[in-house]
Amino acid sequence: METDGTLIERSCRGRPDAFVEVVRRHEVAVHGFLARRAGPQAAADLLGEVWVRAFAGREVLLLVAWEQLTPAEAAAVLGVPPGTARSRLHRARAALRLALQEAT
């Protein structure tokens, strides 16, 4: 079985089916996380937003949060400079924080 990091790397290289597998693996856990913070009604709406944002650019967040990589290791996987990975991680965390605040 491929790791999430490998799937995300494949997704970044133009294989959206790989990202679908990441979603399948984690949708229940992510929904539970959102439901605990924003309530069950908002969780379904937020879940879609999380995956859209992740697909659009939250690869660094997924690699750091689920694969337990450092930002530098995530940068190597994604083929970007470490500073770029740290910046993307900061923006992704801020966007997720804002989405959770808006839902509550």
Residue 31 sits in a domain whose CATH number is 1.10.1740
- φ/ψ of residue 55, rounded to 5: -65, -35
**pTM exceeds 0.75:** no
Could you read off the pLDDT of 37-82 as tens digits, one per residue? 888 888 888 888 777 776 666 778 778 877 788 999 888 888 889 9
Q: Which of 13, 21, 16, 14 lies closest to 66, judged by CA?
A: 21
Q: Which two tokens stand for residue 10?
A: 């494949």
Number of domains in the chain: 1
Could you read off the pLDDT of 71-91 as tens digits, one per residue? 998 888 888 899 998 998 888
- pLDDT score, position 82: 93
Domain with 36 in it: 4-103
Q: Which residues touch 61 (CB under 8 Å, ≥6 apart)?
A: 54, 88, 89, 92, 93, 96
pLDDT surpassing 80 at residue 101: no
